[in-house]
Structure 1
Amino acid sequence: MLPSRRRGPMRAVLRRVGLAVGLLLLVVVLVYLGRDGYRDGARARMSLLDCLYYATVTVSTTGYGDIVPVSSGARLVNTVIITPVRVLFLIVLVGTTLEVLAERTREDWRRARWRARVRDHFVVAGFGTKGRSAVRTLLRNDISPHEIVVVDPDPAAVAEATAAGVVGVVGDATRRTVLRQAAVERAREIVVAVERDDTAVLITLTTRQLNPDAGIQATVREAENIPLLRQSGADHVVVSSETAGRLLGVAALHPHLSAVMEDLLQRGSGLDLVEREVRPEEVGGPAGAVAQPVVAVVRDDRTLPYDAPACGTLRAGDRLIVARSTEPDPHAGDYEGRAL
């Protein structure tokens, strides 16, 4: 399901019915106003019912021939107005079928074009509470909606995702055919945000087989399932229930610390964590000399605390995780990185 603005089928049908009735009434009015120019084989003068009958058989191209225009004015009206209305009436009648065929062709073409072009995108398996939060975070970090694909077995959830502008696939993410529809073999990152731990393990295992190079970020409810996720190919595993419990414990002991941690998790509200490359002028110096507060240093795929002995001297290729304020600071300089 690609994002698009769609009109409901009942609304489209009612709109066409209303237009057809309007055209029919227009012909009735024209014939009734010029009824003296028509000859009825059974009656001397046409009534309103006769005008309605003539308009119906004429517009529908039935044309029994029992009522005919005889005056020059009536024939002119039939030629200039009623005949084009008849053609338009037929177009309205077959318009629904033509629109369905055209829409199917258009959707098939859009899907084929999308599958041919999509690559280095994000696949989010599961669009529940965790999946929605993951998508919102990606969008707030300037990821284009067209670079996000949501996979969920619930059509309503997928429809909600496409309404936000992302691409949706209705299906079970544990199945290879469904994952291939999401072009998971060309994805950059896969987010496994389903509710069941066993489903998360199966999705991770299947995804890793289809794409050995993508990063896989998964969530589980129980910490005992972390080894299974890692053995299945997950790069990072988040324990949702225990993480929420730790935040609750911190909030009970240190409410202000909990507020700061919650702020760090929400992009664009107060404080953000940003990962960026070390700058040339920072190489060779200590992490404490960096203008922004350094939280950690990423070196050789290892995340080191800012005060670790190994972080005494920054090296070329290091990446810094720094805290920044969302308030504009003219003395802070540019941040080249992605908010976490």
Structure 2
Amino acid sequence: MSEAAGRPDSATDWRYLLTTRGTVGLAMTVALLSVATAVVAIFTGPSDPYGPLASAVPTVVTEAAGFTGALTGFATVASAFALRRGLRAGWWATLLLMPLSAVQGLLQASPYSMPLVVLSLVSVPVLILSRHRFDAQLSLTTTQLAAGAALAGVQLYGTIGGYHLREQFDGIDTILDAFYFTLITSSTVGYGDITPNQSSEAAVLFTMSVLVLGVASFGIAVGALVGPAIQARISKTLGKMSDSQLQTLDDHVLVLGYGDLTEPIIEELVEAGLTFAVVTRDEEATEPFVAADVPVVAADPSDEEPLRRARIDRARAVVVATNDDATDALAILTARELRPDVRIVASATDRESTRKLHRAGADAVISPSQLGGHLLVRSALDGDSSAIVDRILREE
């Protein structure tokens, strides 16, 4: 942070862009621009302000770029959500979609598509430089796999069957017509432009089967997709954060434990504008954090798994303040083992504990009671407490 201006300087801005949140935000911006410029291109047509591109690109290509640009934008939204979960598959999908968005922006030959082209091209090196932050493997449940297979199976069944019975339908001439018929029938849209011949019982029965199987497969697919979101909301209500919510943590301060010092620590972090996460085994203490959308893990801060969930591998610093020196020592040992290079600061109840926590691996240990006693005496004698603070911090 720039102390003079109170906001990030250019180097910090670039570093933030390479964080998980920055990359996800950039991908989402490209997605929204892709949809917006596609809609504009559809209604306004080509208007090339930078050369003979508009005249060189056929109108049908420009119109197709508009419609496909909207589809690419929605696909990028999905890939951005996958990025938010730290998925490697989402990273690959976004990396492939960015150049596609740039090409579609050029083919739209519109002055409004230039920001999309530039931002899409800028996103490619950002994604490459931040690739190490997206290493989670895509793990699908049995229900999700079954839902996907059922949905694909019904579409395949309807497309092949509709094309095979095309002479008994009004409106099916090609394989694309058969796919279109299957899609609108199974989704219960049913425009009525493709209908079975009433004289053909086979076509009528086939249409009924596509409708029943399609509705069932769509229902299963929606349940498989919405179910995890509902579960995440329930977990949040119960004071638990899902892994996808914790995945975006980056360059944050990790606070281990909840005690008398936690609230002042949190207030200082908020005032400094820093991102932070809390790990505490006090489940009641997690409720205000969850209500305020603060990442929190309700678990023992001396265990490895909670610290991994809170992304200690990306933390900029660790603050240990559990109100128990023994627990503090275990938490420090665990944090130091998982991140040998991270700075760890801890609080201690007395001078003896201060030495022990140093030996456990803390870079700095502060004793609030000792510091408070020195400050009270100095303030009572001459009112000057700044010198004693500097001296104690140097000793620690």
Q: TM-score, normalised by structure 2?
A: 0.37
Identify the structure with the greater helix proportion.
2
Q: TM-score, normalised by structure 1?
A: 0.43
